Structure 1
Amino acid sequence: MASVDVTTTVAARPAPIAPAPGELMPVTSRVAPSSALVVAVHGEMDATTCPLLHERLIAHVRSTRHLILDLAGVSFFGAAGLTVLVVVREAALLADCRLCVVARTRPVRLSLMITGLVDVLDLHTDVTEALVCPDLPAGARLVDPRQPGDLR
């Protein structure tokens, strides 16, 4: 499994939440000027890393009205990651919390396309777009989430 060094920060970059012992997936969170909570995930989303992420996201869903889950730093996206997205989406619906998912990398987008979750989740190509998410009409997310043109 890959490990990401998050000890170096630049200017206003959010500081990582201190990882628990043995945690392989750094997660950062910050409150945006629009009051949305932006949670950025880095590394691998698999059966080892997802249980703690699941707990954190459920807690965030209960404490905010707009949660942006930024998966731009995810290098591996397994079935456990898909499960987390589905469960957190359901919790967000119940809590009346708007969940926006930033998905622009190949590992994340391909998994979402294959499973059909591109039609269920509110997907965006970057955090800036997701920050204005509540103001966008339904269906104004990715132009065509099935087009791999911007996949890295």
Structure 2
Amino acid sequence: MNTPNGFTGSDDAHPGKLLTVDVQPHPRGIPLVRLLGDVDLATAPLFQRAVEQQVAQRQRFVVDMDGVDFLSSAGLAVLVDVRQQMAEKDLKWAVVAARATVTRPLEITGLLTMLPIFDTVPAALDAVADPVAG
């Protein structure tokens, strides 16, 4: 279901576990896709839709996963898919992941070294920003 600021959904087996995906414009012109909650089989499609919108607009963007409490293989699959789509379009993107709830699954699967991972939003924005615009 859409909310005014993004997407929200829940896992029917755990109705209290929600994922909020909020796409925020950033003053540097780079959309910031913030995730809050669990990224699992039930909620990964919300994440997928938000990033697909950015890819469809040929946008550079940053995914902030510091609010993610749980990251399942479904969420990892979204990240792998985004990586492939962005590479095909030759677009920059970055992921903010400093919490173990996100970095541990990325490390175990080998994605930590394959994805553009940064510890902070400013570092991720710097990596994605157009060098001319700063």
Q: TM-score when scaled to structure 1?
A: 0.72
Matched, 1:41 2:12: no
* Unaligned residue ranges in structure 1 (runs of 5+): 1-14, 136-152
Matched, 1:102 2:96: yes
Find the counterpart in structure 2 of residue 8 from structure 1: none
Find the counterpart in structure 2 of residue 16 from structure 1: 5
Deviations 1:10-46 (A, max 9, x none): xxxxx732536x5721111112122111000000000
Q: TM-score when scaled to structure 2?
A: 0.81
Amino acid at match of 1:96: D
* Unaligned residue ranges in structure 2 (runs of 5+): 12-17, 130-134
Find the counterpart in structure 2 of residue 65 from structure 1: 59
2: CA distance, partners of 1:133 / 1:47: 30
Find the counterpart in structure 1 of residue 122 from structure 2: 128
Note if contact 1:16-1:26 (Cα within 8 Å) is conserved in structure 2.
Answer: no
Q: How many residues align?
A: 120
**Larger strand proportion, structure 1 or 2?**
2
**Runs of 4+, deviation exceeding 4 Å:** none
Matched, 1:87 2:86: no
Note if contact 2:8-2:46 (Cα within 8 Å) is conserved in structure 1.
Answer: no
Matched, 1:115 2:109: yes
Amino acid at match of 1:87: D
Find the counterpart in structure 1 of residue 15 from structure 2: none
Note if contact 1:103-1:125 (Cα within 8 Å) is conserved in structure 2.
Answer: yes
Note if contact 1:62-1:95 (Cα within 8 Å) is conserved in structure 2.
Answer: no
